[in-house]
Structure 1
Amino acid sequence: MDTINLRGSRKVGMGLSTMEGKKLLKGFNFNIASILSKALKASYQVDSASGVVRILDFIPQQDLVCPASATHCRIESAWSEIDFISGAIHSSISPAVSLVMDKTKSNVVLSPAQAPTGFGILLVVLKLSFFQEINGVVYSLNNGGLNAIEIVSVS
């Protein structure tokens, strides 16, 4: 972490620019009530150079631990660059992939529209959300404990 500045004057950006800081940041969950690794059992690959996330041979009913009421899931990613010196944040969000909670196998490829621009730390975040279809209308399950979002790559 920040080993240059004195205690009380340390800077987040300096700490996160170190290998130790990046290691601590990777795997950070934004929702303590829903941990991505507990909900998503499938393996995924992250290309930190392009921001692309791939989940191959994904079967929602088999590869997710989900609420009993969920009929659909949505997976999306974001590729962000955060400059802690200037405070600038640039992000590109992938189109979401929505799937029915069944045994259909698919390859999920989440590609951001463009690379974030600027200088700073690059992060890839993966988000998993659940939905319920009632009478042809799909509703988000938003009780706070169901949707997971995690930092899956830091460079």
Structure 2
Amino acid sequence: MTMKKLLLVTCACLALAACGGVDPNSPLGKRQALFKQMLKESEDLGGMLRGRIAYDEAAFIAGAVKLDSLSREPWQHFPQVRDDERSQATDDVWQRQERFQQMARDLEAATAALVTVTSAAPLSRSALEPAVQRIEDSCEACHKAFRAY
């Protein structure tokens, strides 16, 4: 393949890749990135408790703190009106703002409770499991109410 053809194919691929992508600096891009980070932290914590990942107390504590911090971030990236049709959020996010905000506060309370549980060393699985389950339940409830699958 000649250099010109290779350059043309590369440019076409890059142009196509840029189409339909979400701008990482847009409100949608920012909240999607935050939710992905939250999912990773939550999955790691749950994985440690369920034996899918080797349990590491220091990593668990750090993950709980990081998840708590992340849980306070995405809500600022939901503008007053729907901003992007590619969002997986339903219109109810904007039509039922009071309920949406309450569910966000519920998640924040659940992650803060996990941090509190992790502050009493040595950590107890019997205390960690319900705290992690509360976070997972909070995420699931909000997804059922406000996410289009």
After TM superposition, the score normalised by the length of structure 2 is 0.30
Bigger proportion of residues as helix = 2
After TM superposition, the score normalised by the length of structure 1 is 0.29
Query: Which of structures 1 and 2 has the larger relative contact order (alpha carbons within 8 angstroms, sep 6+)?
Result: 1
Bigger proportion of residues as strand = 1
